[in-house]
Amino acid sequence: MESMSTGMTWGRPGEKVGFIDHATMATLGQGLIMSYTQLGRDRFEVEFAASVPAALAVGDALENLTWAPDFTARDSMFGTCRARGSWFQLPAKW
């Protein structure tokens, strides 16, 4: 877990989760959170509504899809800049 995200509530019942392959960053499937229990600052337990993908392995990741907004960029150009990524922010009154 990224150190800046420890201690946070990561998910809530009813939220959608993506199962992410660590090596390829491909989404292996999706799940729905049935229950979420915080077990300490760095650990939590999640129960899903259905079985997780059979291909899910130790070291793979979870992504809370409910908290991840959809984004589409059109007619845009992204040049090379090795030190930075892209930053997108919703307007304050969104």
Prediction pTM value: 0.71
Q: What pLDDT, in 10s, does the model give residues 30-87?
A: 999 999 999 988 889 999 999 999 999 999 999 999 988 777 878 877 777 665 667 7
- Whether 41 maps to a domain, the answer reads yes
Domain that holds residue 9: 3-67
- Whether 51 maps to a domain, the answer reads yes
For position 84, what pLDDT does the model report? 60
- Whether 34 maps to a domain, the answer reads yes
Q: If pLDDT is split at 50, 70 and 90, which confidence band does 3 have?
A: confident
Q: State the virtual CA torsion across 74, 62, 94, 87 in degrees, nearest 10.
A: -50
Q: How many domains does the chain have?
A: 1
Cα→Cα distances 13→10, 27, 28, 64, 69, Å: 11, 21, 21, 11, 18
